[in-house]
Amino acid sequence: MLQDLSPTARQLTETFSVFRETIAGFPPGALDRQFGGRSQSVTDIVSHVVAAQHRYDSLIRKTSDSPPSVPTLPSPATNLALCGALDLAVEEALACLEAVTPDTLHDPLAYTWGDWVADSSGNPLDARWFAGQMLRHAAYHLGQVNVYALMLASEG
């Protein structure tokens, strides 16, 4: 793996490991629960994160401009199925980052995103940016799931 992507890959692995541990600790009946109003359930969040990982992967690999379908998870969801979906997502993300070469690292990848094709410094949204986005996105939703876990703990 390119040295430019190694720190992000390590952090992605760590983030998904904690995400998996958090999901594994949920009572099975709580995985499909909405914790208020129109909030997403844990199952919805995992489906969203996995679908987004596939989308970022396809952008980095330049394999498709269409988003993938949301992964099919059992209903009611199980801890094992959600953890398995997260495991597959991180495996695919790491394989994607492993496939990036020095020649493709800085290729602009957001050419289908309209006017937003560069970061705030004017650099193109390239493989390094999308690798970081994989990490930021997963970490954001890990935080969301951790809030749900705290809410459950306060009820018990």
pLDDT tens for each residue of 36-71: 888 999 999 999 999 999 989 988 988 865 555 556
CATH superfamily of 6-32+39-155: dinb family like domain (1.20.120.450)
Put residue 77 in one of left, alpha, beta given phi > 0 → left and psi -120 to 50 → alpha.
beta
* pLDDT at residue 117, rounded to an integer: 72
pLDDT tens for each residue of 95-149: 999 999 999 999 888 766 666 777 778 888 899 999 999 999 999 999 999 999 9
* pLDDT at residue 105, rounded to an integer: 94
Exposure letters 120-147 (e unless 16+ CB within 10 A, then b): eeeeebbbbbbbbbbbebbbebbeebee
Predicted model pTM: 0.91
Locate 65 and state its tokens: 């401009």
* Domain residue limits, the chain: 6-32+39-155
